[in-house]
Chains A and B, each alone.
Chain A
Amino acid sequence: MLQLDHLSKTYPNGTLALDGVSLTLREGEILAVVGGSGCGKSTLLRLASGLDTPSRGRVLLDGQVVAEPVARIGMVFQEPRLLPWLSVAENVAFGIRELPEAQRRARVEALLGEVGLSDYAARWPKELSGGQAQRVAIARALAPEPDVLLLDEPFSALDAFTRIDLQDHLIRLWQHHKRTFLLVTHDIEEAVALADRVVVMKPDPGRLAAEIPLDLPRPRLRSSAPFQAAERAVRGALSDALRREPQRTILN
């Protein structure tokens, strides 16, 4: 599957955003990367998607180096990034232009149904709410049937109710499509609700601090004791990661 091998990224302005991050995705899992703002989560996904190239290290997909975006890796950005001049259906179809018309239409219809937006196919993006737009973006990313889907804080701009609704949608999509998801988030509850495994990052420069396996059964009840215990474990790991470097964190 997808393997991040000692990834480091120094931006042209000298910022060391990521320092030697290694991660291996297992086939069919949801891996959540949790960390505060600015600890390099977006940088990590941009490297994994091939949008940016690492300063050191490499990204491997089944042993092949990923140096630029590939069809087998899909991406959902923090903002929906729908193309405003295309209808909802055309946006979903954006990445599958090479498919025959009938097949393309069937796939768009199926995906819009799965994200609950069948009635919105003909709408313009400007006529959608934030949550609806992000669902369209997820459908668009899934349309070419990538093996790995990267999600960069996809629900962080949404209100709590919409966020939970979209998390449920995402789990259903994952169960139906049986893909591998790499989800980046700053929301501990979101990570525990969705992931099979949580990786905690620490900042300055971005590194991995801890890994927490979650063997909570699905569907997960957010009010249950094991769920909340898992949340506490992740929260503990996060604050440990920050505490181990007192001078740095205080100075910043």
Chain B
Amino acid sequence: MSAASQSFEAPAEARTSAAPAGRRSGRAVSARLLLGVVLPLGLGLVWEAVVASGFASGRLMPPPSRVIAELVRLASTGALWEHSLITLSRVLGGFAGGAVAGIALGVLTGTSRLLRDLLDPSFQALRSIPSIAWVPLFILWLGIFEASKVTLIAVGVFFPVYLGVSSALMSVDRRTAEVGRIFRLSRLATVRRILLPSILPATVVALRTGLGLGWMFVVAAEFMGASSGLGYLLVDGQQLGKPTQILAAILTFAVLGKATDAILASLAAPFLRWQDSVGEAP
């Protein structure tokens, strides 16, 4: 080895330009998507056939065709858009408030020992209260209308975001933080140039969890004295005995929840291209 070492040239390294690695082919993706719909589609078709051939009435569990008809009816009267839009605006309003507060307080407690000792115990105590338990109080304080609903959603979003951000900050690798120390970054520069970029992936996960909880809490909020929104359609469908309306609202919830999560994920993806993980951007 030692004889070879002197004549050993720097290895000629591939001169490829920075090409993003591991992009899956479009065909493989659509094949996998198809695989995912096999089960729900199959079950729907089976139920459709069972009801059509008269083995079941489908009164309590209507077949897909009736649910679709109900969706079309709701859409054509404009009710579907109206209720969806109201629910969506409640979720987004609550999400915005909860996320901003969660990130801000998470960063403060995650970067300052003093603030952490001061604030974190209170947040942990508040977190152990099931958030729905606040509803009566919020209604007393803020009334029955929008403010109490949006606040409840914001509370639901706040905790996962706060917890995700502050715990991610505290588990930043010491070795990474030392790079900041060796280049003598100020405290603020360390937060901005080392800590915040380090926790970006965890923050996106926390925000997506928060958004999911926002959708959960909007249903709770709309169960309580709402006269509009998808949650109202649920209650209304139950009181009038219209399972098709309930299922139509549930389907809409599913589509909206998935869509907002996908939008959030794709907004974050360009900032996470540097990540070196098994599953590329979701």
Residues of A within 8 A of B (CB): 49, 51, 68-71, 74-75, 77, 79, 81, 83-86, 94-95, 116, 119-120, 122-127, 132, 144, 160-162, 164-165, 168-169, 189, 219, 221-223, 227
Contacts and interface: CB of A to CB of B under 8 A. Distances in A.
A223 B2 contact: yes
B274 A85 contact: yes
B6 A165 contact: no
A83 B176 contact: yes
A116 B14 CA distance: 12
B200 interface: yes
A75 B18 CA distance: 28
A94 B179 contact: yes
A161 to B, nearest CB: 7
Nearest to A122: B18
Given A81-B175, A81-B176, A122-B18, A51 B181 contact: yes
Nearest to B1: A160
Contacts of A127: 18, 21
Contact of B194 (A83, A161, A222): A83
B33 interface: no
B276 interface: yes
Contact of B8 (A49, A123, A161, A221): A161
B182 A51 contact: yes
A84 B3 contact: no
Contacts of B17: 119, 122
Contact of B5 (A68, A70, A124, A164): A164
B203 to A, nearest CB: 13
Interface residues of B, number: 30
Given A86-B197, A161-B8, A219-B6, 8 more contacts: A51-B181, A51-B182, A79-B175, A119-B17, A124-B18, A126-B275, A222-B3, A223-B5
B10 interface: yes
A223 B6 contact: yes
A124 B11 contact: no
Nearest to B272: A85
A51 B184 CA distance: 10
Nearest to A94: B183
Given A84-B276, A85-B200, A221-B6, A77 B183 contact: no
Contact of B11 (A122, A126, A165): A165
Interface in B227-282: 273-276
B22 to A, nearest CB: 10
Interface string B171-202: 00001101101111000000001100110100
Contacts of B184: 68-71
B13 interface: yes
B87 to A, nearest CB: 36
B195 to A, nearest CB: 11
A1 to B, nearest CB: 19
A188 to B, nearest CB: 12
